[in-house]
Amino acid sequence: MKRFNCPSCGAEVEFKSAVSIYAVCPWCDSMLVRSDIDVKTIGKMAALPDDMSPLQIGSEGRYDGTHFGVIGRLKIGWRDGMWNEWHILLDSGERAWIGEAQGSFSISFEKESLDESGRSYIASRLTTPGSSAGLGAGFTIAVEGKTLRAVDIKEATCFGSEGELPFAAPKGRRTVAIDFTGSDGDFATVEVEKDVFRLYHGRYVEWDEFGFSNLRPLEGW
């Protein structure tokens, strides 16, 4: 864990993960980028739209017997709604994302790369950065020896972020998100941001399986 003073307000900002590069100051909402020795301000984060999520920065849980803490969040919107992506740090040192959409939850881990055939296919059909007009569902990719098929493609926009993140996610960040499913109940998401491809692989998880604690106080929970 490393601590820095926010250049804008002077408050102490913690980086719990060694690979977190960006953070949002919880006191003044400044976006901070970290180097090896200090941090600098790169802008101001707009207030996140309110929702009824029981999760918050500092919530804790377990996955496959390993404890984790929630250290960041992305609020993502698309044509038909919004969802949360919660950035978590496991005690093993691994990072992952908990997706929360309409009461369903998933967990996914970033993989090193998309197979070359899948990358080439997607890149050749993205007509412009941030546009999915040239893509259609049904094509497949290989992830860890499994074949997964594209079932959903959407253009997404970041509504805001908070906490620690492995990449910059200011309000207005545009991506194309391509969701895949496999025969064993697992799923993958390819996120395309301009010429950057990120691959995530995981599965859907029932709420009780996480054993969450330190939840946000909400009426009825």
pLDDT tens-digit readout, 144-180: 888 889 999 999 999 988 988 988 888 889 999 999 9
pLDDT at 28: 75
What percent of the chain shows pLDDT beyond 70? 87
Grade residue 1 by pLDDT with cuts at 50, 70 and 90: low
> Taking the chain, what is the end-to-end CA distance rounded to the nearest angstrom?
32
Interatomic CA distance for residues 88 and 85, integer angstroms: 10
**What pLDDT, in 10s, does the model give residues 112-133?**
877 788 888 888 877 766 677 7
pLDDT at 45: 60
Sign of the alpha-carbon dihedral angle for 80, 82, 83, 85: positive
State yes or no: pLDDT of 43 exceeds 70: no
Which residue has 């997706």 as its token pair? 99
Grade residue 198 by pLDDT with cuts at 50, 70 and 90: very high
Domain boundaries, the chain: 2-44, 60-109, 111-205
CATH domain 2-44 topology:
Rubrerythrin, domain 2 (2.20.28)
| Amino acid identity for residue 91 in this structure | D
Tell me which residue of 143, 137, 210 sits closest to 183, measured CA to CA.
Answer: 143
Grade residue 38 by pLDDT with cuts at 50, 70 and 90: low
Which residue has 């959407």 as its token pair? 154
Grade residue 50 by pLDDT with cuts at 50, 70 and 90: confident
Query: Would strands 30-34 and 39-44 be described as parallel, antiparallel, or unpaired?
Result: antiparallel
Sign of the alpha-carbon dihedral angle for 181, 182, 186, 188: negative
For residues 211 and 195, the answer to whether their CB atoms sit within 8 Å is: no
| Amino acid identity for residue 7 in this structure | P
State yes or no: pLDDT of 202 exceeds 80: yes
**What pLDDT, in 10s, does the model give residues 54-72?**
999 999 999 999 999 999 9
Interatomic CA distance for residues 189 and 185, integer angstroms: 14
Q: 211 CB contacts (<8 Å, ≥6 apart)? A: 61, 62
Q: 174 CB contacts (<8 Å, ≥6 apart)? A: 129, 130, 155, 156, 157, 158, 193
**DSSP state at residue 11:** -
**DSSP state at residue 213:** B
Beta bridge partners of residue 211, listed in sequence order: none
